[in-house]
Amino acid sequence: MSKLTDVPKRILIGRALRSDRLGETLLPKRIALPVFASDPLSSVAYAPGEVLLVLSIAGVSAYHFSPWIAVAVVVLMFTVVASYRQNVHAYPSGGGDYEVATTNLGPRAGLTVASALLVDYVLTVAVSIASGIENLGSAVPFVVQHKVLCACAVIVLLTLMNLRGVKESGKLFAIPTYVFVGGVFIMIAWGAFRGLVLGDTMRAPTAGFHIRAEHQGLAGFALVFLLLRAFSSGCAALTGVEAISNGVPAFRKPKSKNAATTLAMMGLLAVTMFCGIIALAMTTKVRMAEYPATDLLRNGVPIGSGYVQNPVISQVAEAVFGKGSFLFIVLAAATALVLFLAANTAYNGFPLLGSILAQDRYLPRQLHTRGDRLAFSNGIVLLSGTAMLLVVIYGADSTRLIQLYIVGVFVSFTLSQTGMVRHWNRHLAAEKDPLKRRHMVRSRAINAFGAFFTGLVLVVVLVTKFTHGAWVALLGMCIFYVTMTAIRKHYDRVADEIAAVDGPTDDSVRPSRVHSLVLVSKIHRPTLRALAYAKLMRSDTLEALTVNVDPAETKALREEWERRGIAVPLKVLDSPYREITRPIIEYVKNLRKESPRDAVSVIIPEYVVGHWYEHLLHNQSALRLKGRLLFTPGVMVTSVPYQLESSQVARDRARRRQEWNAPGAVRRGPAERPKDGAGTKE
């Protein structure tokens, strides 16, 4: 990389790290919690609001179901956390749900899980950023007016932070995450103290509003369907739980124990905050509507399009702390920031899963490569680009995006827990120790209940959200599945083609003869250098090849060839349509056809230039020829470079890069100066 680009790169992402420093990037539990659990912890900022939004369809009277929905979400959260604690102990390698499903249910199930997780990680970034923008927009009108632009800017910022490495990004994310968690707990404790001890009446800013019910007095199946839909929206609080099982290798030793402890801490914090916010929302009489301009009524009149509906957590904080108070401002700022940083769960999960899939040949191999900071840079960039595309398509609207959400994560939950049941069945068949068998039976029971419960929730989510956007997530999963299957087939086909076999093959048997062809347009120094090089190869036959495009130039070439007495026969190919590439290709193919066991070496003189625009003026015919000859079996192509004076610019630039290091760049020791006559192509 040139000097001009190396300096900004080092400033933005830091100096490159040696591979043997990978151990220094491992995370303690206090950093791993905000890194891997920022998504489920921050989801309490919007999951309660999604529950109330769905219930508002039946009016305020349906709000009294929200505590029961919260209880159902809590039971599900504890079930999933307990199930994944078994996963991290049984499969600590970092494959997570993908490894569990592949090992126990087969490659197709594993690929289904991988497709679901990849879609869910992309949606995690889009939903978290969009929700954070909306929370920040309640205080900064500019953000609301330019939602898409601001969301894309935050994604770019998060990308740069994660390119610096997992440990450094974790340190950056730890403070706002802990401030947010602490702020929510202070709000819950102070709200409970004011309500239960002081007997204060806390009122949300929307407490005096009424809701115009879309369907008044729902009962029977319609009511059950509404409650199930509200429950499925509340399940957004579970997104990101699986990220810890995928990130076990990033923990310090003992890895499995630390990961399991972090899971338990995350589950306890998330359910406490979720239930506390739901309880305070009921106490302060928060009112939410899917279409606030028309469905929220003040004194029987719609409040109009000028009203901005703040999230539930903002309304509760205003009721508990008071609008404009210090704690209110701190919590509002921490909420917006932690929602942005919640995307970090996906920034750690997506690249790691992509690396594992690339290693298994389901994704391009470039995703398996670590960048300068030992992070999977290509996966981070791919995630950012895909999430940015979703943000643009859906206008950074969290309400629209969240309808696509959580389908993928419950597909992975269900298949993973089913795989764990088969895992324990296989081990129980071989285990004789009674103590270990009791432990395995208990673990199997936990995973079996988890598989049943998450499978039931998956059905609920699909039924209640399919027409509201879940079909887009399913389509995305299918696209990922088909694409990864096609990539694997391609890699397998290439591996079969290039696999070395016992015994002689066309690639290992020496060719009977080698025909060397030097391409000639004029007699000049590059041509003479190519001819001299070709003579050193001592081929069986050597001839010069030119194409008759202009008869006068061809005649002059023949005359000068004879005058100079060049001891190489000159072959002239006719080209009635003034083509250069096709006659040469046909001539080479005829040589191969006449003698299939012979090899043909095509030697092409090329100019080496120093400026980018000079590439447009030189070597175009050579590039086209090389591109066509690559598809001709038995043909080798050799470029003989000739350095023009302008190439000195490129040589000087390369020498400066070797002698100068950008601030923070890895020192590689003194570089050798290029030998005279060596060309540098850029």
Q: Which residues of 339-375 are buried (b: 16+ CB within 10 A; e: fewer)?
A: bbbbbbbbbbbbbbbbbbbbebbbbeeebbebbbbbb
Q: Which of 496, 540, 494 is nearest to 517 (CA)?
A: 540
Q: How confident is the model at residue 331 (pLDDT cuts 50, 70, 90)?
A: confident
For 279, 516, 519, 552, 557, the CA distances from 522, given in Å and listed in that order, are 87, 18, 10, 12, 6
Q: Which residues contact 655 (CB under 8 A, 6 or more apart)?
A: 673, 674
Residue % of the chain over a pLDDT of 90: 6
The Cα 128–Cα 180 span in angstroms is 15
User: Is residue 246 helix, strand or coil?
Assistant: helix
Residue 148 has a pLDDT of 84
Nearest residue to 545 (alpha-carbon basis) of 567, 514, 563, 521: 521
Other Cβ atoms closer than 10 A to 429: 7
Sequence letter at residue 682: E
Torsion angle of C-alpha atoms 242, 248, 251, 253, degrees rounded to 10: 140
Question: What pLDDT digit, counting tens, does each position of 424-440 carry?
Answer: 898 888 888 888 888 88
Q: What is the pLDDT of residue 666?
A: 38
Is pLDDT larger for residue 309 or for residue 558? 558
Alpha carbons 357 and 370: distance in angstroms, whole number: 14
Q: Confidence band (pLDDT; 50, 70, 90) for 82?
A: confident
Mean pLDDT of 321-340: 83
Structure confidence by residue, pLDDT tens digits, 606-645: 877 776 666 655 666 778 888 888 888 888 888 888 877 7
pLDDT for the residue 80: 83
Mean pLDDT score, 81-94: 80
SS3 call for 641? strand
156 versus 500: the higher-pLDDT residue is: 156
**pLDDT at res. 112:** 92
Cβ atoms within 10 A of the Cβ of 404, count? 26
This prediction's pTM: 0.66
Q: Which of 386, 339, 316, 412 is nearest to 114 (CA)?
A: 412
Name the average pLDDT for the chain. Answer: 78
- By the 10 Å C-beta count (0-12 exposed, 13-18 middle, 19+ buried), 615 is classed as middle
Q: Coil, strand, or helix at residue 436?
A: helix
Minimum mean pLDDT range among 70-74, 340-344, 356-360:
340-344
Query: Which phi and psi angles does 660 have, rounded to 5°?
Result: -120, 135
**What is the set of domains in the chain, with CATH numbers?**
3-491 (1.20.1740.10), 514-659 (3.40.50.620)
pLDDT for residue 20: 44
Neighbouring C-beta atoms of residue 671, cutoff 10 Å: 11
What local confidence, expressed as pLDDT, does residue 518 receive?
Answer: 92
C-alpha gyration radius of the chain? 33
Q: What is the mean pLDDT of residues 220-247?
A: 75
Mean pLDDT, residues 664-669 taken together: 37
More confident residue, 484 or 371: 484
How close are the terminal C-alpha atoms of the chain, in Å? 11
Higher pLDDT, 535 or 132: 535
Q: What tokens appear for 585 in the block?
A: 């290709």
The pLDDT, as a whole number, for residue 349 is: 77
261-312 pLDDT, tens digit per residue, is 888 888 888 888 888 998 898 888 888 877 777 777 787 788 877 776 778 8
